[in-house]
Amino acid sequence: MHSSSKQQPYFIPRKLIVAVAAVIVSFGISLLYIQYFESDTQLWVAIAESKSEILEKQRANQQSVVLVCGGSSTSFGVEPTKTESNGSTILVNMGLNAGLGSRVLVGYCLTNMEAEDDLLLMVEPGILNDTELITAKGYQFCFAMNDMGLMTWNTNPTWISKQLAFFKSLPYLRPGISSVFFSLALTLLQQPSHYQFEDLRHDGLMVTDHRFDLGDGSIDTAQTISSENLKLLEELAQLLSHNGSNATYAFPWKLTTLQNHKSSIQKRHQFSKMLPNRIAFLFESNDMGVKTDSTLFGDSPYHLTEKSATTRSQLLLSAYEDKSF
């Protein structure tokens, strides 16, 4: 031990006390930042709240509602579409951002579902191939929505389960350097974020005027579902069947090159075979949603243009109608 002879002996380390206080204050600041300033979280919270309101409006006078659940491919790919025969079923776009993680995307739909509603999963295969079910952004989204039930799927949580969920997510409730510095850079450059709340159409479809050179299209190569996501899908199927609802899976459309077209379709075939039995696969066409026409897509190989979203929604609904539950 080093000599501390010149120092008056003391028992409680002062620096440690200061550090503990600083950690508590820092986490407080971090939570405030996530709640009020984190731009991505702010955007998706605003969109989620709007979509919940849109759903309530769409629900009026409908016998049956099908919530379409997914990431941005759903958000940019599905508009509310009613059945032509009697107009009693309506597809409602509940898509958010795949970066939140599959558990949060599904959890958001579950909290908005009512008895007799159905769920149409259009979660990107890459997300279902991931071993991580909730991302940091997902935890932040749940916190900012003030609804940890989005990740626990517990619609009636106790105080203790809420606290446990909060502490589990605490390490992720920090913005991180890229988020803060990127926002700072955007402010300095006086540039808006890539996606805006204004991109949300009044009926829940997101549209953007951005057009990029999409190059070779999507390089999504997932042909399996991770064991974690398989478990999640099983849990979902069980929960829905208990509530008397149906669960279906449809592939989001994606852009690929002519060269990769065949192999992409094969991969999706493989992927569809892995779905749990209780989740019906919605077979729309032989191409399994793999497209080579880049004019169908907007700013990403997964984001449809407004026009192709209309076409896609109609095809999706008619395929859904053909499926007898």
Partner 1 sequence: MNFADPKFWVILLIGITIISGFRVWIPTRLLENWRFDQISLICLGLILLGTVSATSLFVFVYVTCITFLLLKLLTITSWFHAHQRLSISLLLLFQLWPLVLYKYGNFICSDVFLSPVSSLQHLIIPVGVSFYTFQMVGFSIDTLKRRQPLPKWYEFVNFAGFFPQIVAGPIERRDHLLPQIINFRWKWNAFNIDAGFPWLIHGLFLKLVLADGISSLQFADLGRGAYAIWIDNLAFGFRIYFDFAGYSFIALGVAKMLGISLTMNFASPYCAWCIQDFWRRWHVTLSNWFRDYVYFPLGGSRSKLVWVNLLIVFVISGIWHGAGWNFFFWGLYHGLLLVIYHLVGSKISIPKVIQWAVTFILVILSWEFFRSTSLPTLAHNLAEMTNPSAYQLDAIRASYRSILRPEGLSLMILITGCMGVVFLEWLSLKVKNQHYHYFHNNIAMCLMILAIVLFTPITQNEFIYFAF
Interface with partner 1 (CB under 8 A): 1-2, 4, 7, 9-16, 18-19, 22-23, 25-27, 29-30, 33, 136, 171-172, 174-178, 180-182, 184-186, 188-189, 191
Q: Are 222 and 125 in contact (CB under 8 A)?
A: yes
CB nearer partner 1, residue 169 or residue 218: 169
State the nearest-atom distance from the C-beta of 177 to partner 1, in Å. 4
State the nearest-atom distance from the C-beta of 227 to partner 1, in Å. 22
State the nearest-atom distance from the C-beta of 15 to partner 1, in Å. 4
Q: Are 96 and 81 in contact (CB under 8 A)?
A: no
State the nearest-atom distance from the C-beta of 42 to partner 1, in Å. 17
State the nearest-atom distance from the C-beta of 188 to partner 1, in Å. 6
State the nearest-atom distance from the C-beta of 255 to partner 1, in Å. 22
Chain-centre distance for alpha carbon 225: 17
CB nearer partner 1, residue 175 or residue 301: 175
Q: Are 62 and 298 in contact (CB under 8 A)?
A: no
CB nearer partner 1, residue 175 or residue 217: 175
List residues bridging with 300 in a β-sheet: 303
CB nearer partner 1, residue 110 or residue 173: 173
Helix (H) or strand (E) holding 149: helix 149-152
Buried (b) or exposed (e) across 218-254, using 16+ Cβ within 10 A? bebebbebbebbeebbeebbebbeeeebbbbbbbbbb
Q: How far apart are CA 245 and CA 256, in angstroms?
A: 34
CB nearer partner 1, residue 6 or residue 242: 6
The two structure tokens encoding residue 15: 């620096």
Go through the chain and tell me how many residues it has.
325
CB nearer partner 1, residue 192 or residue 244: 192
